[in-house]
Chain A
Amino acid sequence: MSDRSPGESRREFLKHAGAALGTITLAPQLAVSEPVKRSGDARRWSDGVGLPNGWRQMQKIDAHNHVMQAVQQPDADWSAVESMLEAAERLGIEKLYCSRPLTGGVLAEIDAVRAANDSVLAAMRRYPGRIEGYCFVQPGNGPEALQEIDRCLEAGMIGVKLYNQFKYNDPTVFPIAEKCIERRIPFLGHSAYLTDQKTLAAQPRTSNALEFGELSARYPELMLILGHVNGGGDWEWAIKALRRSNNVYLDTSGSVQEDDTIGRCVRELGHQRILFATDLTMEGGVGKILAADLTAEQREDIFWRNFQRILDRRTT
């Protein structure tokens, strides 16, 4: 239990209530960079009941998260970012790899894309070593999208995030994939196999796992990550569809917390293709990895080591 008075800690806690918010085979079994261990509140909060001992102190890297507010301006409201970091501290998540995609189904001008990425860069500067960035781009912006990737990488981002403006088997996307290969960076893609017609109508260009597989077959050296297997949509379909796409990783994030998603991923795909992530469902994201039937080594690989191997490929 915390050594602070409950009333004081609760008031402080609610003050920060934020907005809602082929040939690259799997990573080589080489030494992996160790993430920096933090010594924050995770060490002071107890484990609770029914969870593995020391779960808060287990190393974790969140491979898919977001900066939810426009924080690039000097007078920005940082409350949502602060709430995310506070949650990360409590849950023992050392780093959050974030993007700020433009949603709503429109193809925005490149200035809006740059502003979104500037928010992520501002968060990286404000919280160095805790927030890292993916560069969001829209393939429809053409050469300017490629220039934006270079700009963001020079500023310290580590990968590219695409949303649902284009299907990933659309040739418009191919130059982005080629840029990722050239720069040795991961490509994280929004995904879902949507069976609900209303949602499908709102997101007609969301890519499903077979379409990820098509992109991976065309570019087997691409470090391709299927985003949020539990982000809505038929996750059983997605896992089965990836069985023959050996070079597609999958992240575990999303608001759906269904048993036995993680076990099914491991059985069908092997645990080294699975990356821990939350996509803002932070307690659920950690809880389902802790509750899944995994060996300690599998859990550690999923919590951080598999993604660290991807990051290490940039410099090897």
Chain B
Amino acid sequence: MKRDAFLEELRGKLAERLEPDDLLAALSYYAEMIDDRVEEGFGEEEAVRSLGSTDDIAREVLGDAPRPAAETARESERGGYTRKTFVAEAAQITAVAVRDRDLAVELAPSEDGKVRVWYSESARDKYTVFVDANGLLAVVYESERKWFQYLGWNFAGREKLVVEVPAAFGRDVELTSSNAAIEAHDLHLHTLTAKSSNGGLTARNLQTDETLTLVTSNGAAAARNVRARKLHLHSENAALQLENAQIEGAARLETWNGTLRVKRTAAESLTATDKNGKIALEDVRVAEALSLSTSNGSIQLKNLEAAAIEARTGNASISLEDVRPRGDVLLYTCNDSIKGELRADARLYSVDSKTSNGTNLLPNRTEGQYRLVAHTANANIKLAFV
């Protein structure tokens, strides 16, 4: 093959995936290689042949394309760490996935509508940043440390990983960082999934068209000023907080050993499960079922509206203040009191209340469209319709 035919063939294999500047740089490079060989005495076709197939060349050039094309020179250097940036056009990115370790991650809106990743690398701490054929931007931490290089090695200077996307990105984003906090704010996404083991998770001023998911084991999870189709907050040993939220469908909150708080929130249904923590809801509207369950923590409901209410605990009290049910109300505990007021028409309710070794101020009745059940033992029931 002749020089120009070779370059034309190579152009065909690179043009779609490279920016015009990068395409020109690659073609000039190979043209120069051929010219230099010819100048040295090779025949034109021989010089072309020695470069190998255009398929292999395209693979090498494209395999490396996203990073150098978008990576800028170092921003700053501290403690052996270099701050780097990856930039891509938002239109090229269909989803974002981050896998980090031991380092906080922030997802924030970008000022210029581009997708940008800020990360710190050192000789031993590297990131693989690439965009795959489907437009998935992946940011993966890969330590090149040998085991002995963790000993006495200074991590100072390894700054937080920051991912910026346009405020109205509307895509799926998944963020994982074991042992560190994750924060996402001021964005509109399709879905957001944030996962950590020992770090706290925060979503604020955020909207998702589908599910907003925050899952951690030993850190707290909080969502404030959020709108989502569905919501899932999960922790094992820390508190969960949902504040000023509008959930079109189901909101699900689970923890084992932390307080669970929901404030100024509306949802189609809300399920909150705890084991040893308190559950507190204030200024909450649930269109359908509200289901609350814990074992050794109290349940406190204040200014709440729901179609059906079920609250279960043990060894702790259930208290109601300005609660407006539009269906069944089922309250179960033992060894502690059930108290407060239900804003509803008493004539609509059958009442099944019982305690032993306590005072019960709620008379039972059998007739009614809806059911009110209040069960405890060794404690008082001071519940009334107002």
Pair from one complex: no
Which residue numbers of B lie inside 8 Å of A, CB to CB? Answer: none
